[in-house]
C-alpha cells in the first residue's frame, strides 16, 4: 500500500488533477416515516452546505439492479481535511438525529470529464 499523501503527490507529478474530495455513504437506520420527518431539515442543511461551498454532489443510490431505490444516499463534500468533512456530515440532521448512519472516505479525483450546458435565456442547466 502507498500512503495517501504520497499517492496524491505521485498523481500530481504525472499531471493528474489530484482533487481531494470526501465521499459520504448515508444509510437509513429508521423507518421511512422517520426519514420523511427529518427530510425538510436535511434538504435545508444540504442547500446551506451548497451555498457555503462544501456540497459538491448529493443524491440517492439505487439497489444493485438499478431498478429500485434502497434508501442509501451518496454525498460528496469538499473540505480542508477529513476531520472537517466528518463534522459537516455529523451535523446533517439525518445523521445528527440517528435517522441515518454514515461512512466517510477520502476520494482523489484524477481522471474524467464533466460537461455543463447553461441556457441563459431558458434558465436551464444540463449536466452530462
Q: Supply the mean pLDDT for the chain.
A: 94
Q: Is the pLDDT of residue 1 over 90?
A: no
Q: What burial class does residue 89 get, using C-beta atoms within 10 Å of its C-beta: 0-12 exposed, 13-18 middle, 19+ buried?
A: buried
How far apart CA 118 and CA 68 sit, in angstroms, is 31
Mean pLDDT score, 7-27 = 93
pLDDT tens readout for residues 42-58:
999 999 999 999 999 99
Q: What are phi and psi of 32, to 5 degrees?
A: -55, -35
pLDDT, residue 109, reads 94
Q: How confident is the model at residue 69 (pLDDT cuts 50, 70, 90)?
A: confident
pLDDT, residue 27, reads 96
- The sheet carrying 69-77 orders its strands as 55-62, 69-77, 19-28, 100-109
The pTM assigned to this predicted structure is 0.88
Cβ atoms 92, 98 nearer than 8 A:
no
Amino acid at each position: 500500500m502507498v500512503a495517501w499523501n504520497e499517492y496524491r503527490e505521485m498523481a500530481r507529478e504525472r499531471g493528474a488533477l489530484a482533487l481531494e474530495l470526501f465521499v459520504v455513504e448515508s444509510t437509513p437506520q429508521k423507518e421511512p416515516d422517520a426519514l420523511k420527518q427529518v427530510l425538510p431539515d436535511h434538504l435545508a442543511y444540504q442547500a446551506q452546505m451548497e451555498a457555503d461551498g462544501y456540497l459538491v454532489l448529493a443524491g440517492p443510490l439505487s439497489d444493485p439492479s438499478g431498478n429500485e431505490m434502497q434508501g442509501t444516499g451518496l454525498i460528496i463534500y469538499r473540505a480542508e481535511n477529513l476531520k472537517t468533512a466528518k463534522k459537516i456530515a455529523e451535523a446533517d440532521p439525518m445523521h445528527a438525529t440517528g435517522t441515518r448512519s454514515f461512512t466517510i472516505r477520502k476520494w482523489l479525483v484524477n481522471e474524467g470529464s464533466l460537461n455543463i450546458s447553461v441556457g441563459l435565456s431558458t434558465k436551464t442547466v444540463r449536466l452530462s
